[in-house]
Every structure is written in structure tokens, then in C-alpha cells.
Structure 1
Amino acid sequence: MISQEQFNKEIELIIANAVREDVGDGDHSSLACIPFDAHGKAKLLVKDDGIIAGVAFAKRVFEYIDKDLKVETLIDDGAEVKHGDIVFYVEGSSQSILKAERLVLNAMQRMSAIATKTKIFADLLEGTGAKILDTRKTTPGIRAIEKWAVKIGGGENHRFALYDMIMLKDNHIDFAGGITKAITKTKAYIKDNHLDLKIIVEARNLDEIEEILKSDGVYRILIDNFNYEDTKKAVAMIGDQCQTESSGGINESTVRDYGLCGVNYISSGALTHSVYNMDLSLKAV
């Protein structure tokens, strides 16, 4: 996984680019009718039920826009919220609050939706021993905050990007000429380039599981699109040789049954690509 320093840089880039995109050469609506020295206060109002996420991100946005803005937090990231709750108050320059408003709301609405969905999956897996993972099926440009939201919701992050872990999926295997060749070439590549990267290999059937197990150095086997019975067989075959992960269209109705098959992890792109934003508002008080 990426370091905290790398993650912080990603957050900084997201904020800087979002402000560039939204503000441009100025918030002319506010500049036109609100005095430069006007002082204001606003509240983050919840108009939905779920898990709140993005409070810490919002604070970083406010600080980026105006270091003199003051935030009073009433509810922290990861807490359950209901319609009518107030998450925080922000006070300071009225122009600055309005400049930050849309970025804060856009991010928090999406992050809260992701955290809420992740919490549902995590709760369904309770007691199975399996943990829920996200994927790279994220919104281009804002992956860091979406993966942050997964963590807030009780999930775990898979690899962040193509550079921090090696995953040999079906196309890699087919282009490389087969599983064994793909693994052998990958291990040589890691050694030749002095890299410290874990290797995950995808299996499409039990025969491929058997072939993967003939090679050492595999960190995790991705048991992709298996039914329950074959997943149990795959887990039994793999034993303690490496970690196991189920994937492939797993949803709220099936996630617990896959967890009960004995896998270590279950990955779901739906955590980040199939959510409906939580309804939040930033209202003047």
C-alpha cells in the first residue's frame, strides 16, 4: 500500500485541482454581493441516514481556502447519523465559506455514501473471518477520498493503484502465455528491478488454482466468479499456502455466504462505483 505521505499528497492534489476547477479566477457570485470583510457561520446539516464521512477532509478544504476559518466538530467520521443531525459548524469569512461549500458537500456526500455501503458489507461479514476490500473501480481523480471513505466505513483498502502491488489477472495471464509463465516472469521482473511488491494471481477455475499453487512467492489468490461450492474447494486446496480473496459480482445478498466459505477477503467494486450520495447541506446560521 502507499505510505501516509503519498496519501497526503494525493489529498492535496485533489483539493487543489477541485478548487481550480470550481473557483477559477474567482467566486463572482459571492464577490458581487458579499462584502470582503463579512463574517458568517454555517452548519453541516444531515438530511439522510447513514455513516458520515469526510469531516477530516472538509477541515483540510477549509484550511486550504482560508486558514482563519474555524471548525467546531460535533460528529466525527465513522459515526452513524440521522436526518436533522448537525455534523459541524464553520465560522469565519462569508466569502471563504461559500468558496469551499460545494467542494465540501460534493466530497462528503460521496464519501458518506461509500462509508455507509461499506458498513453494510462489513456488518454482514461479522463473525465470518472475512474482510471487505475495495477495488480500483473508483472515480478518476478522487480515488484517495473514495478509498478513505471505505476505511471509515469499516472496510480495508486493496492496492491503491497499479504501482503498489502486482495483480496478474486473466488478460495478463493470457498475454504472458499462461499462469506459470506469468508468475515466473513477474518474479524475475521484481528481482531485476529491486522491487518489494506483493503478487496476487487471479484464478478462473480449480485447475488454475492447482497450477498457481505449484509456484511459490504468491501472496494471495483471487478466486474470481466461483460459486459457493467451488470457493470452498479452492479454500481447502490453498490452505495456509497464501491468502484468499473472492470477487466477481458479490453483493449484499451473497457476501455473507462467500465469507462463510472461508476466504480471507472479499473485494467489491460496488463499494465505490454503485452508491447514491448522502443528502447533506451547508446552511447559514
Structure 2
Amino acid sequence: MDYCSSLHLTSIKSLCANWIADDIPSHFDIGGLVVGSRPAVAHLYMKQSGVLAGLPFFQETFNSLPGCVVTWSNQETNTPNPDTSKYVTQPAVEGEKYTYDGRPILLAVVKGPVNQILRGERTALCALSRCSGVATDSRTMVDFARSINWNGSVAGTRKTTPGFRVVEKYGLMVGGADTHRLDLSHMVMLKDNHIWACGGDITECVRRARSGCGFSSKIEVECRSVSEALTACEAGADVVMLDNMKGEQAREAARVVKGKYKGVVVEVSGGITMETMGEYTGDDVDVVSCGKLTQGYQCLDFSLKIQQD
């Protein structure tokens, strides 16, 4: 699947250029002064098993630096022959799951002025390692869901890093998880604070939301009980989130809601991990959302090494 086509290229260019600018706020790069601007070659290595994700961010980071060119190992030109005693070359495929056998996996070659390569090194690697971490955790949870014969959606949440949301949401997509709402404008979600700030009246909250968003947006309501969920459905909610319930309690609440409102999407959420997800899944549960996918993920290990002449 061409995940990269889902990204707005102009926005990604601007995002990556801003990352580079943020890393040199005083306009001086003394390390770059030390090494100069001679032509250099660097190898991108993956050094941990997992799902590869984030190639567009790595690519655009170096595109924003003068003279730098990235050649991915699935491209035939300018890709070195593998020295299998030190590393193994594999095609760089977004969304592919790689197995690390102790030898670094060569995925790309970066050519350009050495000071520019080093200027972009850490920024590009940070985006790649974090995006791949989200994708790897997402794939693990989705694979587990399928292994227990549950075909609902494993979703992220809006618990993303400010300024880094697009990378983490993209990682969810590449890993096979649902991105959930991409931002505050994507779907109306009425959480407990919205309801409390509206006097605790779920029906009035939904009414106001519908008057604002019209027919074109879905409305989701966070519910703490079956009673609240049924009230939200009656008011016209499209999605109910059963939040912070125990597994058996959540499944029973979902059964009651679906029994009366078959067209409503039922989501369960609240501290769910892969270890506990099986307690929540069932025929009446459509979505299991997990904030940990974008809030507690492990970064994958990549390195970019300048090659000696």
C-alpha cells in the first residue's frame, strides 16, 4: 500500500524544514565547521526488528538540506553491494516488518556535503525511529486482535506529542491501526469535561454539537455507565465510548447498547494494553482504543554512518 500518498507533501516539507531550523536556533553549527563541506556518503542502518515507517519524513528532512540526496535500497542505482559479513541490504519498504539477525540492515544511502548530512542526521533518525516505534506497537496489537479472532478496529487516541502528531498518526496507519480522529476538527468528541461544563446534560451537549457540526461530522460521547451510553444514543450520538470500565463490564454494556441501537459504534477505552485487550474484545465491541500506542511506544534503533574513503 502506498501510505506516503496519504501525506500532504507541501505540509511535510514545511514540517521537516522547521525541525532543522529548530535544531540550529542560533544559526551556528560548529560541528559543521569542523568537518567542512566535502562530499560524503552515509549509510542508513536499521538495528532492531520491527515495522519500518517514516520514510517520507527522513526523505524530506534531507531534501531540505542543500546538496543532499537519499537513495533507498529498493532503487537500483547507487546502492552498494552488500558486505554480508558486516551488514545485509534489504529493500526499504514502508510498512514492511524486518527481522534483525545481529547484522545491521542497510536501507538507504545519503550523499551530499558532509556538514549537511550531519546537520540532518539526528532529526531524520528521530522521526524515523519514533514513527517506526508507533507502527511496530500498532502492528503487534492488531496482529494479536486477529489471533484471538476479533475483527474490530484497534485505534490510537489524540494522546500525541504536540508538533509531532502527523508522524505518530501516520505511524498508526502504517502499523495497521485506526488513526481515530486526527485532530479536534475531525470528529466531535464530547468527553466528561464537556458534559460537566454543560451542566452534566448529555442530551443538551449532543444537541449543541449537532447544531454546530451539522450532518457531515460524527459525534462521539464518552460514557461511564450503560445509562449514560443509552442517553447518548437516544440524543443522536454516532459513537459511544465506554471509558474506564472493567473488561466484563464493558462487554456487557456494549451488548446492551447494541441490542437497542445496532447502528451505533461502540468503543472501549481506558488504560487498555495488549496484555488486557482480550478482556475487552467481543462481538458487540467495534473499537478498542489505546493511548499507549502514541504515548508510551518504544523507539526503534536506526543509525546513519558516514563511510570512510
State TM-score, norm by structure 2. 0.83
Partner amino acid, structure 1, of 2:110: V
Secondary structure of 1:223 counterpart: strand
**Which of residues 79, 85, 96 in structure 1 aligns to 2:96?**
79
Number of the residue aligned with 1:47: 47
SS of equivalent residue, structure 1 residue 257: coil
Tell me the SS of whatever aligns to 1:42. Answer: strand
State the Cα distance separating 1:121 from its structure 2 match.
Answer: 0.8
- Decide whether the 8 Å contact of 1:7 with 1:144 is kept in 2: no
Counterpart residue identity of residue 28, structure 1: I
- Give the AA of the match of 1:31: L
Structure 2 distance, partners of 1:181, 1:245, is 22
Deviates more, 1:222-231 or 1:6-15: 6-15
Q: Give the Cα separation in 1 of the matches to 2:253 and 2:11.
A: 37
Q: Per the alignment, in what secondary structure is the counterpart of residue 300 of structure 2?
A: coil
How far did residue 253 of structure 1 move?
Answer: 0.8
Query: Quick one: distance in 2 between partners of 1:190 and 1:54?
Result: 33
Contact 1:44 1:283 survives alignment (8 Å) = yes
For residue 5 of structure 1, report the CA deviation from its aligned partner: 8.4
Alignment of 1:199 with 2:199, yes or no, is: no
- For residues 71 and 266 of structure 2, the distance between their equivalents in structure 1, rounded to whole angstroms, comes to 43
What's 2:297 paired with? 275
- Secondary structure of 2:169's aligned partner: helix
Match of 1:110 in 2: 130
CA 105–51 in structure 1, closer or farther in 2 if over 3 Å, else same: same
Which residue among 95, 100, 119 is the counterpart of 2:115? Answer: 95
Could you tell me which residue of structure 1 aligns to residue 263 of structure 2?
241
CA shift, 1:223, in A, is 1.2
Partner of 1:28: 30
| Alignment match, 2:88 | none
| Equivalent residue in structure 2 for 1:149, among 149, 157, 171 | 171
Q: Which amino acid aligns with 1:102?
A: R
Q: 1:27 offset after TM fit, Å?
A: 2.7
Match of 2:16 in 1: 15
Residues 87 and 61 (structure 1), Cα distance of their counterparts in 2 relative to 1, 3 Å cut: same
User: Structure 1's 12 and 196: CA in aligned 2 closer, same or farther, altered over 3 A?
Assistant: farther
What residue number does 1:176 align with?
A: 198
Aligned-CA RMSD value: 2.0
Amino acid at match of 2:117: I
What's the offset of the Cα at 1:7? 4.7
Give a deviation string over 1:232-276, Cα, whole Å, max 9, x none: 222223322211111000001111332235311111110011122
Unaligned runs of 5+ in 1: none
* In 1, Cα distance between equivalents of 2:228 and 2:204: 13
Aligned residue pairs total 276
Code of the aligned partner of 1:230: Q
1:188 to 208, 211, 215: 211
> In the TM superposition, what is the alpha-carbon distance from 1:67 to its structure 2 partner?
5.8
Shift of 1:51: 1.4
Q: Tell me which residue corresponds to 2:76.
A: none
Paired residue for 1:229, among 221, 226, 248? 248
Cα distance, 1:263–1:10 mapped onto 2, change above 3 Å: farther
Hey, what's the Cα distance between the residues in 2 that align with 1:7 and 1:254? 36
> 2:283 aligned with 1:265, yes or no?
no
Q: Matched residues in 2 for 1:230 and 1:160: separation? A: 29
Relative distance call for 1:228 and 1:165 in structure 2 (3 A) is: same
Please give the alpha-carbon distance, in whole angstroms, between the structure 2 residues aligned to 1:6 and 1:46: 23
CA spacing shift, 1:227–1:10, aligned 2, 3 Å = farther
User: What is the CA–CA distance in structure 2 between the aligned matches of 1:12 and 1:242, rounded to whole Å?
Assistant: 39
Write out per-residue CA displacement over residues 63-91 of structure 1, whole angstroms, 9 at most, x where no aligned residue: 12136513223321212222421121112
In the superposition, relative to structure 1, how do residues 271 and 7 fare at CA in structure 2: closer, same or farther (>3 Å)? farther
Q: Distance in 1 between matches of 2:272 and 2:289?
A: 8
- Aligned AA (2:185): Y
* Superposed CA offset, 1:23-71 (max 9, x none): 342433123332x3x2211111122221121122211111121365132
- Contact 1:53–1:78 (CA under 8 A) maintained in structure 2: yes
Could you report, residue by residue, the CA deviation over 1:177-222 in whole angstroms, capped at 9, with x for unpaired residues?
211111112112234xxx7321111110011112112122x22111
- Residue 213 of structure 2 aligns with an amino acid whose one-letter code is I
Q: CA deviation at 1:135?
A: 1.1
For 1:99 and 1:269, the matched residues in 2 are separated by 33
